[in-house]
Amino acid sequence: MKLYLSLEEGTEVNMGPDNTVLEEFDPLRQKNNTSLTNKKNIHENSLKVSNIIQESSYTNNITHNSNKNIEEETDNETRDINDTYINFKLFIEQLRHQQADPIVRYTKSFLHNFCTQRPLWTVKEQVKLINDFKIFIFNKFKIYEPFKSLDSKGFKNAQEGMEKLIMGKLYYHCFSPLLKRSLKIDIDKEHRQDLIDDIKFTNKCKEYRFIEIQHLENDIEIDKIPYMKLNKFVELGCDELNKINRFKSPRDKILCILNCCKVVYGLLKHIADSDTQGADNFIPLLIYIVLRSNVKHLISNIRYINRFRYSDLNTGEELYYLSSLQGAIKFIELMTSESLNISNLTEFNQLYNENQFKLKEEREKEKKKEKEKQQELQKNQESLSVSLDDLTTSMATMFSDLISSYTSNQSENSNTENENGDSTPSPPVLKQISTKEERMEEERAITKLIKKLETKERQETLKHLTSMFPDLDKEIIKDVCVAKKYNIGKCVDSLLSLFN
């Protein structure tokens, strides 16, 4: 199969069956690439892309709950955090470097052509195009400064940053649940199958949502676990898994899975008699949390990660937890009463029938309130409770529009001065300045809102952990949260060590 991407009108590039992007996919080889005008465009493109990354990187800070005022930690703790934390601010500064202009142009060219060459690519085409570009651009990192001089850790940070950038921009073109709504066209068979499987899995989870831990094969002695403690761990695990739909990059989605699994292991450390017993009980407890979490589009999320996560960036821990979740999903998909541990079949059947009756009532109510839900969804999109990822995306668009319009009008004003010898701004420029000020004011408002939401999320994390560890002093828990940058998984590990 041959795929073609057009760099500019009249130019086609073969992205053939091999797993590399050919050298022809090189905007620097286009005509007049050494002209003064294009040099100016390189700088403008760098500003546009780097500003988009800057706003997208704020979401990453929310993902890892970074805090500039963290307390000094031990060498081991600092090394542990740095192994997982990605410094997107550094990546932004690197892209702003004058010698990185070719990287910006490659990226801008690829994103433009991916979104405009066709309204929709098939799954196989998407995977190939995006993976080929990653291989291509990561090789270019080795040629151009400042990436050329980076050590292995810095190079990986740049790779993570690039993946986050391009997948953030292509999310509405690649994530199956958003395709039909964003493109407003019929989607292809593979993307459509994602949606079908999402519905099937959701229905399966609802069918068996009434089961308890004891219905799954495990050695957990429920009677010995305080109900409040069990409930808090399960609730936090569900919350972490539900965050998977708030983020666009494959890595951020994996971190949601990792944090959920860390909470599961945290609970097992509380209740297990040995490490072996805890490991044996991990999957059953994860299945229980998946059933309780009611995550939307979980199948699509897992397939999105598998398709667009660059394989060389995965760690062993991430792959282990991802495969564990896939195992739990597979078990649920094939779940029947025969696969469960049922001591009283009559009681189980009664619970099953009661749940079926409730589901029927819920479906009837959903049909009646369908119109109301559509109106409510529209209102929610305009409310303060929008996701942080959506807010930062809006701000990124604002920055791009601002820079584009500003440079355009600046050019027009410069031409007027050259022709007339008069530096007085024309009325259109005055109007643009006013628009610029309005946009800057709007940007400040969004930034303030993002900080407010970040503070709220940290407060909720602290509240969850305090309820999970009531025997520990709240100030100690807070200190751990600050030291671990409010990363749920690492906080639970540290608090468990203190608790033990």
pLDDT at 221: 66
What's the pTM value of the predicted model, to 2 decimals? 0.68
Q: Give yes or no for residue 401 having a pLDDT over 50.
A: no
Give 142's pLDDT tier (boundaries 50, 70, 90): very high
For residue 342, the model assigns a pLDDT of 87
Q: What is the pLDDT of residue 85?
A: 65
Secondary structure, 3-state, the chain: CCEEEEEECCEEEEECCCCCCCCCCCHHHCCCCCCHHHHHHHHHHHHHHHHHHHHHHHHHHHHHCCCCCCCCCCHHHHHHHHCCCCCHHHHHHHHHCHHHHHHHHHHHHHHHHHHHCCCCCCHHHHHHHHHHHHHHHHHHHCCCCCHHHCCHHHHHHHHHHHHHHHHHHHHHHHCHHHHHHHHCCCCCHHHHHHHHHHHHHHHHHHHCCCCCHHHCCCCCCHHHCCHHHHHHHHHHHHHHHHHHHHCCCHHHHHHHHHHHHHHHHHHHHHHCCCHHHHHHHHHHHHHHHHHHHCCCCHHHHHHHHHHHCCHHHCCHHHHHHHHHHHHHHHHHHCCCHHHCCCCCHHHHHHHHHHHHHHHHHHHHHHHHCHHHHHHHHHHHHHCCCCCHHHHHHHHHHHHHHHHHHHHHHHHHHHHHHHHHCCCCCCHHHHHHHHHHHHHHHHHHHHHHHHHHHHHHHHHHHHHHHHHHCCCCCHHHHHHHHHHCCCCHHHHHHHHHHHHC
Give pLDDT tens digits for 183-206: 777 888 999 999 999 999 999 999
pLDDT at 273 over 60: no
What are the pLDDT digits (tens) for 350-372? Answer: 999 999 999 998 888 888 877 77
pLDDT at 288 over 60: yes
pLDDT in tens, 212-240: 888 887 766 666 666 677 788 888 899 99
- CATH 1.20.1050.80 maps onto the chain at 189-342
Which CATH fold topology does 189-342 show? Glutathione S-transferase Yfyf (Class Pi); Chain A, domain 2 (1.20.1050)
Quote the pLDDT of residue 225.
66
Q: How confident is the model at residue 136 (pLDDT cuts 50, 70, 90)?
A: very high
